[in-house]
Amino acid sequence: MEALMEPGRVSERFSKLKGLAIAVAPHKGCGSSGGSGKSSCGSSAGSGDLPPDVWEKVKNHPCYSEEAHHHYARMHVAVAPACNIQCNYCNRKYDCANESRPGVVSERLTPEQAARKVLAVASEIPQMTVLGIAGPGDPLANPDKTFGTFDRVFKAAPDIKLCLSTNGLALPDHVARIKDFKVDHVTITINMIDPEVGARIYPWVFFRHKRYTGKDAAKLLSERQLEGLEMLTQAGILCKVNSVMIPGINDDHLVEVNKAVKSRGAFLHNIMPLISAPEHGTVFGLSGQRGPTAQELKALQDKCEGEMNMMRHCRQCRADAVGLLGEDRGAEFTTERIESMEVQYDAGKRQAYRDSVEVERSARRAAREQELLTLAGENSNRKILLAVATKGGGKVNEHFGHAKEFQIYEMSTAGAKFVGHRRVDLYCQGGYGEEDALAGVIRAINDCVAVLVAKIGACPKEELRKAGIEPIDQYAYGYIETSAISYYRGYLERLKSGAVADVERGDAVIRQGAFVEVGAPAGQAA
Ligand code: CLF
Ligand code: SF4
């Protein structure tokens, strides 16, 4: 059995798998950038660009389809506490930072509690389509808890897609089980393929009762990750690769990682910023290792974007996150509440909800295509970034002061392309504006020409204008892409008439601390 193979023999097996990888590689090519007009993984173009079985897997998955993330939610259950490696960006007091911002910690659940929670959430949040297990340690370092949870959920609610995220060390030993349990989506965090680079990220890994350190540890981890990726793609399981961008350590190298995972059949690559601050107590936080700026991250994502598209809507969510990406309704589903709930799982009601979402998605696509026609005669090569306040549904429907994040769209004559999001602290704190928070918002969207909101007060409007960011509320409750294209068309006209100056914006800051929601229960956010 492969599971008993010595580490040195992994390379031998890996080279045998190479031929198979070439056979599966054409299945990649998804794009997660909705609205660009480019064929993509179920974002703008719909099912036409993907084999029907692949489309079926991605269309309602909020992480695998940028378009879906406006409509569908995921939930995580924190059933997997142990980990088999050490990352320098991780503090074991908190959740696995491969899928989760440092500084937050989840309540650990048993598989029984987790399955009950999934059914409770599914019965209250019909848009919840995916159950992910992403920590707080490594799901495959806790296989019985992970698969015990999947088994229970699959039997009780087969319409929920199962998803897991792993560091990959134990992955080759579990591929058969992953397939048996109908886990359709697996994320592997791959930060390097060069052990020299890896030794700066991973101090040790623990494999088959032995601890490996330095380059030996990194080499073993990399071989197991790539082997697991190939085995999964060969088994027809969709794979996403997450990579943490660590400036000065693996930023340039991630282009090589992108090529390596692309050639082995990965479906989507998600390059996430390192979030690092001394208060997280991590090796990188304490040594002052910085994360990338917004423009550094975007430049790397743009560089890697090619045949295999980049995920840009990841929210680095916590191991017990519940809700749309970017929102967290976990506090509504405490163990105490779930135990007292009368759970009524209604598959028919959930299907009816999904049907209504599909009608809305079609209307949104049609409106975007119609608006795009108005750019047909434009040949400007001027690109601009827009920030959008939204609480879901693909609409400009959030007040400026209530936004916990802004979605960022890059505008060109090809249309509106989602390129990221920026987390911020709430500007509106119980009825009044918080000046420090406003300064933070401006730093976070400083590279944007305008911010589209449902409503905004006079004071923040004035401050945004002073910072060169135009506050726009005329598109309140309109579709995002349609509104953004309309704004962009007007912007180009103003540019031509000289009403606005063609000024390059500066860089923007990616928020390093964990978000602290007003009124969050103690221990839920740090
Ligand atoms: Fe969870 Fe991850 Fe599955 Fe999504 S999250 S296990 S693939 S269901 Fe998504 Fe969250 Fe980013 Fe992960 S936004 S951290 S990529
Ligand atoms: Fe921490 Fe996750 Fe890395 Fe394990 S894999 S050390 S839990 S970040």
CATH number at residue 180: 3.20.20.70
Residue 214 domain-assigned? yes
Is residue 340 one of the residues assigned to a domain?
A: no
Which one-letter amino acid corresponds to residue 27?
H
Strands 415-423 and 428-429: unpaired
> Rounded to the nearest whole angstrom, what is the distance from the C-alpha of residue 490 to the centroid of ligand 1?
36
**Ligand 1 contacts CB of residue 325 (under 6 A):** yes
Distance 61 CA to ligand 2 centre (A): 24
Q: What are phi and psi of 220, to 5 degrees?
A: -60, -45
- Nearest residue (by CA) to ligand 1, atom 7, is 63
Q: What is the best residue among 317, 421, 423 to mutate for testing ligand 1's pocket, by most ligand atoms within 8 Å of CB?
A: 317
Same-domain check for residues 359 and 304? no
Residues 485 and 401 in one domain: yes
Q: Ligand 1 pocket test: which of 138, 161, 165, 309 has the largest number of ligand atoms within 8 Å of its C-beta?
A: 165
Per DSSP, 6 falls in state: -
Closest ligand to Cα 190: 2
* pLDDT (0 to 100) of residue 96: 63
Ligand 1 centre from 132 Cα, in Å? Answer: 7
Would 342 be classed as within a structural domain?
Answer: no
For ligand 2, whether the C-beta of 85 sits within 6 Å is: yes
**Is 6 among the domain residues?**
no
Domain boundary among 322, 357, 389: 322
Q: How far is CA 502 from CA 170, 216, 449, 472, in A?
A: 52, 52, 10, 19
Residue of the CA atom closest to atom 11 of ligand 1: 314
> Which residue's alpha carbon is nearest to atom 4 within ligand 2?
83
197-232, pLDDT tens digit by residue?
Answer: 999 999 999 999 999 999 999 999 999 999 999 999
pLDDT of residue 329: 87
Evaluate whether residue 334 is within a structural domain.
no
- pTM for the whole structure: 0.86
Question: Do 294 and 412 belong to one domain?
Answer: no
Nearest to 460 by CA among 474, 487, 442, 475: 442
Domain boundary among 322, 355, 382: 322
Nearest CA to ligand 2 atom 6: 86
Please say which residue of 307, 322, 337 terminates a domain: 322
User: Does ligand 1 lie within 6 Å of residue 297's CB atom?
Assistant: no
pLDDT at 9: 32
Tell me, what's the pLDDT at 14?
33
Question: Are residues 203 and 82 located together in one domain of the fold?
Answer: yes
Closest CA relative to residue 439, chosen from 496, 382, 508: 508
Decide: 74 in ligand 1 pocket, CB within 6 A.
Answer: yes
List all residues 6 or more positions away from 481 whose beta carbon is below 8 Å from its beta carbon: 34, 35, 364, 367, 368, 371, 394, 409, 415, 416
- 424 shares a domain with 302: no
Ligand 1 center–CA 317 separation, angstroms: 7
Number of domains within the chain: 2
Nearest atom in ligand 1 to the alpha carbon of residue 99 is: 14
Distance CA 391, CA 404 (A): 9
Residues 259 and 396 in one domain: no
- List Cβ neighbours of 491 (8 Å cut-off, separation of 6 or more): 384, 411, 449, 450, 500
What local confidence, expressed as pLDDT, does residue 102 receive?
55
Q: Look at residue 167 and tell me if it is in a domain.
A: yes
CA-nearest residue for atom 9, ligand 1, is 63
CATH number (domain holding residue 438): 3.30.420.130
Question: Would you say the CB of residue 78 lies under 6 angstroms from ligand 1?
Answer: no
What would the pLDDT profile of 327-377 be if each residue is shown by its tens digit? 878 888 888 888 888 888 888 999 999 999 999 999 999 999 999 999 998
28: left (phi over 0), alpha (psi -120 to 50) or beta: beta
Whether residue 98 has its Cβ less than 6 Å from ligand 2: yes
Domain of 91, in residue numbers: 13-322
Same domain, 58 and 184: yes
Same domain? For 170 and 303 the reply is yes
Ligand 2 pocket check for 282: Cβ under 6 Å: no
Stretches where the chain sits below pLDDT 50 are 1-45, 514-526
Both 358 and 454 in one domain: the answer is: yes
Which residue in 272, 215, 211 sits closest to 240, CA to CA?
Answer: 272
> Does a structural domain hold residue 4?
no
462: CA distance to ligand 1 center in Å?
37
Asked if residue 254 and residue 356 are part of one domain, the reply reads no
Q: At what angle do helices 294-304 and 253-263 cross, to 10 degrees?
A: 40
Q: How far apart are alpha carbons 440 and 423 in whole angstroms? A: 10
Closest-approaching ligand to the CA atom of 100: 1
Same domain, 65 and 162: yes
Q: Are residues 371 and 318 in the same domain?
A: no
Could you tell me if residue 474 is inside a domain?
yes
Which atom of ligand 2 has the smallest separation from the CA of 91? 1
Output the residue whose Cα is nearest ligand 1's atom 12: 99
- What tokens were used for 138? 């490594």
Q: How far is the CA of 112 from the centre of ligand 2 (A)?
A: 24
Read off the tokens for 79.
């059933």
